[in-house]
Amino acid sequence: MLTKRIIPCLDVKDGRTVKGINFVDLRDAGDPVELAWQYSVQGADELVFLDISATDEKRKTMAELVKSVARQINIPFTIGGGINEIADADILLNSGADKISINSAAVRNPQLIDDLAAGFGKQFVVVAVDTKAINGKNYVHLNGGRIPTGIETKSWVLEAQERGAGEILLTSMDHDGTKGGFDCKQLQKINRMLSIPVIASGGAGSREDFAEVFNETDVDAALAASVFHYGQILIPDLKQYLKEQGVLVRQVNEE
């Protein structure tokens, strides 16, 4: 049985880590390279870096950040933001990223998923989905959650899987930054539909929230930001707690 993964997420804007509530009211959370090193030492299983301004401001994700992070840590990390074509991904992977994440660009051009999977392998392609409930149904949103699409989340994740996504990073906009717990109801439905790994995102506020999402939905990984950035939850403590709750995790001192 595979161990469950704990993944700190670093939202990067103008070279700094930021965090907000429901995708707005951003505040500084530190230097992304320094935070990456701290998390690798603490025992994080992977990291995700999302340049949250790249798509909206039409900028390319900075390869220099990837190079700096790759020099500092020895755990896998994913980079996303502003990846619109094969060449963008090629630069980031060659700079040291282990995976690339696509979101808005994939919805606008679904063929991009096929092309990336064919060019680099499915294991390198993470499709990030920002989902929000409207009138009882969950819909995909773009550009950091600012643009509703009218596309139902469940149909989009199935299409992404069929096209070659290796993982789905599902963020509940309704839960994001609230620290009120993950959207377990939606995550359970999505995870049962898919055969590829699902990363839960949005709403982590306590150790209990992580145990709940793993035990109730059986997702492969749980991602969080502010609770890690501001020291409210320490990864070694979280992993020890999860172990006590019957969740199989890689312990900090394990290779």
Residues with catalytic annotation?
11, 130
Provide the token pair at 217.
Answer: 């939905």
Nearest to 105 by CA among 89, 119, 125, 84: 84
Residue carrying structure tokens 């900075």 = 62
Which residues neighbour 59 within 8 Å (Cβ) at sequence distance 6 or greater?
51, 53, 82
Quote the distance between the C-alpha of residue 232 and its chain's center. 19
Percentage helix, strand, coil, to 5, in the chain? 35, 30, 35
Burial of 143 from C-beta contacts in 10 A (0-12 / 13-18 / 19+): middle
CA gap 90, 247 in Å, rounded: 36
Write the CA distances from 132 to 43, 129, 148, integer angstroms. Answer: 31, 10, 9
CA gap 5, 45 in Å, rounded: 6
